[in-house]
Structure 1
Amino acid sequence: MPVAIITGASKGLGRSLAVALARRGWDLVLDARSGAVLREAVDEARKYGTRVEALSGDVTDAAHRAELVAAARGLGGLDLLVNNASALGAEPLVRLDALPVEGLRRALEVNVVAALGLVQEALPLLRETAGGAVVSVSSDASAEAYETWGGYGASKAALDQLSAVLAVEEPGLRVWAVDPGDMRTDLYRAAAPLDDDSDRPLPETVVPAFLRLLDERPDSGRYAAPSLLLGAR
């Protein structure tokens, strides 16, 4: 069975993607900071009879990243790495003139540095797999200027660039940066708690865009989920 590592998998998009892959027979290594919430996601994924390894921890911890890759190795290899774990930098989001430097540093550490560290740890396994792939969850804030989204957007823009360069350096892999579009998630509520998010789509409605990438395997690059959904089966 194919094996995937998904970070930030306890809720939101990470959890929805994990369940969708489990439904397809994938074995999973799931990460989140909260062990209790992660166990709920694991229980849901295991309903489909796949093997699921759950490791709670912080992706900025090199030892934790090594444990995630070791768990994938124990399941037989690694076909897909999904860098989904994210930090906002401030909750709620604030203008740049009020953004704590430590908050920006945290966003960069989680969204960029840890993502690269996990890629580096996982590359030997990914290179051994025919059709190995890396998905980095991006944001429209990486390409557009939205008030208060500067720090988070800057970190996602950096992640986009790392993904683009990785694709050039690793032509044997597929490397996709994916902007999932608007979603109703805890991350968005933390970012903008006063906004009415009731009309935002739930994360599970975005998952078919990611599955389309896995099914059709287009060239490495940056993709927007709404465009992928237009042609998703």
Structure 2
Amino acid sequence: MTQRTALITGASRGLGLALAQELARDGWRLVLDARGADALETAAAELGAEAIAGDVASAGHRAELAAAVAGGLDLLVNNAGTLGTVPLPALADQPVDDLADAFATNVLAPLALVQAVLPALRTRSGAVLNITSDAAGAAYPGWGGYGATKAALDQLSAVLAVEEPGLRVWWADPGEMNTAMLRAAGEDADAAPSPGHAAAALLRLVAGRLPSGRYSAADLRARP
């Protein structure tokens, strides 16, 4: 059988790294992306993966990633993201330029990467896993900018699922996790579960090839 291939963005730490670790244990070929080259190279060496450091908001970097999986892609995980302005501001104080940058990373880059690797995904009837957040639908003070980017990603994911019925498209909320991003948001990350806890739940989507749609790690853990 052909070895399954996954491309994971933001894979040097947190949820991206946890997903890579789970897939590596299952024998997947991994192509990993992150902006920090040193941390990415360390992670890739431990997992026997290919590391391609760069910014997913860069068209040139996305072209490198697409070339690495041109032979066929079973799973694209759009995990790389940014909070935008920190400390998280009220919308009345939201710097619009910062919000534009957040949309570039959290919305436009995932869409552009999907476009770049669609031929490879179609070849394998592959899957797209877009990492979203409950902030996409809930009104949390300070989370308006970030939540708006995730709401946009949710909508793009839903339309992609309809337009590409041969693929699986999942947009999934991992819930709170003990990550640097949660700390940067000013939340108590130490009280949150590890990223590995969420990764194991989210990969039930892959293992069961569940229907396209929106999921949460909490709901996936509750499934029999």
Question: 1:184·1:203 contact (CA, 8 Å) conserved in 2?
Answer: yes
Question: 2:178·2:193 contact (CA, 8 Å) conserved in 1?
Answer: yes
Aligned residue type for 1:104: L
Separation of aligned partners in 1, 2:10 and 2:189: 21
Separation of aligned partners in 2, 1:8 and 1:146: 25
Give the alignment partner of residue 142 of structure 2, picking from 144, 148, 171.
148
Matched, 1:183 2:177: yes
What is residue 88 of structure 2 aligned with on the other side? 93
Aligned residue type for 1:224: S
Task: State the shift of 1:218 in Å.
Answer: 1.4
Q: Percent identity?
A: 56
Separation of aligned partners in 1, 2:146 and 2:46: 30
Q: Which moved more, 1:141-150 or 1:202-211?
A: 202-211
Matched, 1:80 2:72: no
Give the alignment partner of residue 60 of structure 1, picking from 51, 57, 68.
57
- Residues 188-228 of structure 1 show CA distances to partners (whole Å, capped at 9, x for unaligned) of 11111xx3322100100111212210111111000011010
**Runs of 4+ more than 3 Å apart:** none
Question: 1:33·1:57 contact (CA, 8 Å) conserved in 2?
Answer: yes
Task: State the shift of 1:63 in Å.
Answer: 1.0
Separation of aligned partners in 1, 2:50 and 2:69: 8
Q: Which moved more, 1:37-46 or 1:145-154?
A: 37-46
Q: Could you tell me the TM-score, scaled by structure 1's length?
A: 0.93
Aligned residue type for 1:86: G
Q: CA RMSD in A?
A: 1.0
Separation of aligned partners in 2, 1:210 and 1:27: 18
Aligned residue type for 1:65: R
Aligned residue type for 1:91: V
Q: After superposition, where does 1:1-233 map in structure 2 within 5 Å?
A: 1-46=3-48, 52-73=49-70, 76-130=71-125, 132-192=126-186, 195-231=187-223
What is residue 49 of structure 1 aligned with on the other side? none
1:206 partner SS: helix
Aligned residues: 222
Gapped regions of structure 1 (runs ≥ 5): 47-51
Task: State the shift of 1:27 in Å.
Answer: 0.4
Separation of aligned partners in 2, 1:225 and 1:160: 16
1:82 partner SS: strand
Q: Which moved more, 1:195-204 or 1:168-177?
A: 195-204
Aligned residue type for 1:147: P
Gapped regions of structure 2 (runs ≥ 5): none
Task: State the shift of 1:43 in Å.
Answer: 2.2
